[in-house]
């Protein structure tokens, strides 16, 4: 075995506080599995689109007690280097995944050992509460242990700065530098007078605000809700009741938090089949709207009863619906924002409403900062992330659910549905058909293969896709549209649409985002325009799929 690698593995084993982790690496040494050890030590976890995220395995490439300790040490050193007083406090939260409670304990222990004031969530709770508490109490930072919608084997570490937003460069580089140089951590305990538990009065501020803004008083709208085995269940059920919805059906088999996600192949509302149980429950209950949170309740999925059965809404469609309500009454300092992989329709809606529009890189760490000195009226990303109120400087699936239900209730009172509103939007602005390709790559060299595929597209881009000419190729790594450089390539299809291909920031996936535009055309029936757009979208998707195949 390579001597440098061996020395690195032995040093990690010596400093790993977890006996199971030490045993795991020692076993790999015993069988001389250099390939696996190199995979675990050559690519340490880094802050991506949503913080550190990876499988629960031993070594720097995994989420484990040693990685969490080093990351937390990095946070303390980052605060000191950037002149932020840790005495202001760090709020710490966790979801209900396997390992989250243990990792939460490590974060709290390292922070207390370093002399930082800690405000710990009273139990596993939704991610949006961390940035909410951070802003509400004007704290120094926030840490959330979660892997959001990732597969059950994964966990993660999200970090928020004093603004309440997830960190961006150079903060991520600073934390990673200190992680790499971390030594043995001093561990404090909860008997310290620096330790506090976030009280119910603080969280009541969130509840009161969202109910005042999005409550309806009384509604007979029939809703089915699922938290997909996550931490949103009890919180969201109470919010829906307090908001005035008396006819709420809860998906019992998915209601209790369970990190194994026993009824789901992937705990992501976007995944095919993820809403199957909810739709069946909605049929039995006679619901007209299904809403779903992902396991940490920062995302929102939805489905609407249609004449031919259920229609699951795309993230862009939910974004347009929410924008149609939230743009009403927007002020001169308000901003709406979405990312480069989301639909271009929001820009047209904002322009007509005379509201400033901002385009951002992928991820809410960018969207939440898009307003600058103004106020973010609404921000969204097609991956079911929505920010409907500046109370939380991140995506929030709970307040977004209340906002969507409020819109559905108002439309119902007027004899309309969410689908009617979508007809109005696309009839006016044109059909914007969208689809996503998501190619999961397995194995120790998965990330390298993904990067190589993007490089090949950059070097030899297609001249057409699905019969549409590629009119421009934008290398996002060089910076474009006034944005910072990011990995990915954008293909413009003239006025007919665009395609963005990029590596996922949270999983070993290559992702492609396709949008095809048709209309508006008052001479052609909207259903005909949608059929034309869907056919064209299918042609682009099929050709792109063959190009991206591994």
Rounded CA Rg of the chain = 23
Pick the catalytic residue from 42, 43, 100, 148.
148
Helix, strand, coil shares of the chain, percent, nearest 5, are 40, 20, 40
Residue with tokens 């659910």: 401
Please indicate, yes or no, whether residues 421 and 294 belong to a single structural domain of this protein: yes
Asked, for residue 35, whether it belongs to a domain, the answer is: no
Please indicate, yes or no, whether residues 253 and 192 belong to a single structural domain of this protein: no
Low-confidence ranges of the chain (pLDDT < 50): none
Question: Phi first, then psi: what are they for 159, rounded to 5°?
Answer: -125, 130
Final residue in a domain of this structure, among 166, 198, 230: 198
- 224 forms beta bridges with 249, 290
The model carries a pTM of 0.94
Please indicate, yes or no, whether residues 246 and 389 belong to a single structural domain of this protein: yes
pLDDT for res 50: 84
- Report helix, strand or coil for 478: helix
Final residue in a domain of this structure, among 368, 396, 427: 427
Please indicate, yes or no, whether residues 231 and 180 belong to a single structural domain of this protein: no
Residue with tokens 């190729």: 473
Please indicate, yes or no, whether residues 495 and 349 belong to a single structural domain of this protein: no
Question: Using CA atoms, how far apart are residues 300 and 297, in angstroms rounded to an integer?
Answer: 7
What is the DSSP secondary structure assignment for residue 166, as one 8-state letter? B
pLDDT for res 48: 85
CATH number at residue 119: 3.40.120.10
Asked, for residue 7, whether it belongs to a domain, the answer is: no
What is the DSSP secondary structure assignment for residue 271, as one 8-state letter? S
Please indicate, yes or no, whether residues 181 and 242 belong to a single structural domain of this protein: no
Question: Phi first, then psi: what are they for 257, rounded to 5°?
Answer: -60, 135
pLDDT for res 173: 96
Q: How far is CA 162 from CA 88, 89, 138, 159, 465, in A?
A: 10, 10, 7, 10, 44
219 is catalytic: no
Please indicate, yes or no, whether residues 363 and 437 belong to a single structural domain of this protein: no
pLDDT for res 446: 77
CATH number at residue 504: 3.30.310.50
- 196 forms beta bridges with 119
CA 456 to chain centre: 28
pLDDT for res 444: 67
Tell me which residue range forms the domain holding 136.
43-198
Q: What is the pLDDT of residues 243-284, one digit of tens each?
A: 999 999 999 999 999 999 999 988 999 999 999 999 999 999
Please indicate, yes or no, whether residues 61 and 185 belong to a single structural domain of this protein: yes
Asked, for residue 498, whether it belongs to a domain, the answer is: yes
Asked, for residue 413, whether it belongs to a domain, the answer is: yes
Question: Using CA atoms, how far apart are residues 66 and 77, in angstroms rounded to an integer?
Answer: 17
Number of domains in the chain: 3
Final residue in a domain of this structure, among 400, 427, 454: 427
Question: Using CA atoms, how far apart are residues 429 and 211, in angstroms rounded to an integer?
Answer: 32
CA 168 to chain centre: 15
Query: What is the tally of helices (H) and strands (E) in the chain?
Result: 17, 22
**CB-based contact 389:395 (threshold 8 Å):** no
Please indicate, yes or no, whether residues 143 and 70 belong to a single structural domain of this protein: yes
Please indicate, yes or no, whether residues 229 and 314 belong to a single structural domain of this protein: yes
The torsion region of residue 32 among left (phi > 0), alpha (psi -120 to 50) and beta comes to left
Question: Using CA atoms, how far apart are residues 49 and 395, in angstroms rounded to an integer?
Answer: 13
Tokens encoding 515: 């949008």
The torsion region of residue 479 among left (phi > 0), alpha (psi -120 to 50) and beta comes to left
Asked, for residue 10, whether it belongs to a domain, the answer is: no
Asked, for residue 209, whether it belongs to a domain, the answer is: yes
Please indicate, yes or no, whether residues 469 and 442 belong to a single structural domain of this protein: yes
Please indicate, yes or no, whether residues 406 and 518 belong to a single structural domain of this protein: no
Asked, for residue 12, whether it belongs to a domain, the answer is: no
Asked, for residue 28, whether it belongs to a domain, the answer is: no
pLDDT for res 506: 67
């Amino acid at each position: 075995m390579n001597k440098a690698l061996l020395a690195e593995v032995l040093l990690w084993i010596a400093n790993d506080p977890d006996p199971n982790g030490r045993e795991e690496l020692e076993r790999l040494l015993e069988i001389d599995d250099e390939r696996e050890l190199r995979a675990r030590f050559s690519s340490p976890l880094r802050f991506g689109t949503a913080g550190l995220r990876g499988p629960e395995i031993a070594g720097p490439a995994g989420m484990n007690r040693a990685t969490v300790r080093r990351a937390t040490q990095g946070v303390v050193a980052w605060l000191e280097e950037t002149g932020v007083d840790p005495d202001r406090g760090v709020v710490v939260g966790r979801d209900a995944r396997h390992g989250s409670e243990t990792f939460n304990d490590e974060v709290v222990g390292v922070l207390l050992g370093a002399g930082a004031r800690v405000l710990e969530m009273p139990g596993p709770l939704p991610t949006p509460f961390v940035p909410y508490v951070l802003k509400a109490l004007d704290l120094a930072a926030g840490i959330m242990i979660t892997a959001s919608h990732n597969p059950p084997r994964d966990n993660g570490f999200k970090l928020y700065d004093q603004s309440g937003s997830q960190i961006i460069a150079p903060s991520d580089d600073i934390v990673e530098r200190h992680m790499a140089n971390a030594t043995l951590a001093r561990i404090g305990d909860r008997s310290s007078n620096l330790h506090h538990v976030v009280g119910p009065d603080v969280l009541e501020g969130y509840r009161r605000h969202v109910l005042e803004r999005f409550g309806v008083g009384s509604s007979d709208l029939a809703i089915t809700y699922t938290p997909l085995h996550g931490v949103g269940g009890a919180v969201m059920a109470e919010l829906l009741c307090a908001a005035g919805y008396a006819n709420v059906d809860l998906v019992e088999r998915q209601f209790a938090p369970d990190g194994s996600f026993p009824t789901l192949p992937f705990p992501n509302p976007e995944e095919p089949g993820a809403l199957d149980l909810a739709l069946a429950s909605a049929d039995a209950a006679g619901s007209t709207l299904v809403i779903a949170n992902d396991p940490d309740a920062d995302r929102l999925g939805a489905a609407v009863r249609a004449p031919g059965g259920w229609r699951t809404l795309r993230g862009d469609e939910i974004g347009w619906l929410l924008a149609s309500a939230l743009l009403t009454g927007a002020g001169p300092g308000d901003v709406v924002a979405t990312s480069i992989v989301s639909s271009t329709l929001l820009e047209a809606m904002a322009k007509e409403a005379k509201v400033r529009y901002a385009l951002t890189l992928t991820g809410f760490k960018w969207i939440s900062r898009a307003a600058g000195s103004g106020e973010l009226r609404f921000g969204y990303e097609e991956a079911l992330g929505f920010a409907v109120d500046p109370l939380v400087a991140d995506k929030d699936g709970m307040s977004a659910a209340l906002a969507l239900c409020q819109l559905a209730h108002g439309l119902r009172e007027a004899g309309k549905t969410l689908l009617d509103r979508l007809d109005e939007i696309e009839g006016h602005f044109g059909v914007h058909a969208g689809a996503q390709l998501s190619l999961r790559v397995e194995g120790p060299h998965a990330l390298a293969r993904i990067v190589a595929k993007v490089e090949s597209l950059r070097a030899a881009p297609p001249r057409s896709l699905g019969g549409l000419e590629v009119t421009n190729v934008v290398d996002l790594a060089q910076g474009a549209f006034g944005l910072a450089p990011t990995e990915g390539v954008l293909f413009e299809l003239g006025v007919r649409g665009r395609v963005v291909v990029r590596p996922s920031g949270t999983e070993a996936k290559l992702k492609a985002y396709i949008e095809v535009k048709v209309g508006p055309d008052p001479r052609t029936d909207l259903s005909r325009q949608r059929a034309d757009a869907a056919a064209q979208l299918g042609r682009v998707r099929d050709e792109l799929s063959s190009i991206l195949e591994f």
